[in-house]
Amino acid sequence: MGTGRYVGSEQTRMIDTPTNLLQPHEPWMLRAYDLARRAFEENEVPVGAVIVHQERVIGEGYNQRESLNDPTAHAEMIAITQAAETLGSWRLIDCVLYVTLEPCPMCAGAIVQARLPTVVYGTVDPKAGACHTLFQLTDDPRLNHRATVIGGVMREECKRLLQEFFQQQRALGKK
């Protein structure tokens, strides 16, 4: 059973994580960010996710709720499904999930169920964040498994992409 912990401290809903903890994660987060940009181009909420095992990507995804008409088609869920298929196991031990936005309750639950030991995310989700902001599902001592969570990797880029998307949607009279 893993010991979950949150790396960073909340300050006005933003996370300050020491720079030395962020740097080794930036190349993987950049790949997740590129997937989020793809979601943006497909008129999906721009969230991207990558799962890494032994320095290789074994699953990735971006939000596809609109195109698939599936409320569960979040970037993390797609990446988790691919990673489990790649490993031939639903237990994603020794893996790291990189995602541009703090996971929601559904995705945080899947993280716990998949036994993902580490989650690295870009920006907080003040409306649905379930790793730190609203809930701490990935570190709830009542659950059998927990994850270490690192927030704030490419925070500003991830935040700006989401803001740009929702500004565009509002201008079009959507979302």
Helix (H) or strand (E) holding 61: strand 56-62
Q: Tell me how far apart the alpha carbons of residues 169 and 68 are, in angstroms, rounded to a whole number.
A: 19
Q: Name all contacts of 73-77 with Cβ < 8 Å and 24+ positions apart.
A: 74/47, 74/49, 74/104, 74/106, 74/107, 75/32, 75/35, 75/36, 75/39, 75/47, 75/48, 75/49, 75/99, 75/100, 76/47, 76/49, 76/103, 76/107, 76/110, 76/111, 77/106, 77/107, 77/110
Beta carbons within 10 angstroms of residue 38's beta carbon: 15
Query: Of these residues, 76, 85, 102, 164, which one is catalytic?
Result: 76
Question: Is 10 an active-site residue?
Answer: no
- Phi/psi for 95 (5° steps) reads -120, 160
Rounded CA-CA distance 101/122 in Å is: 5
Residues with a known catalytic role: 76
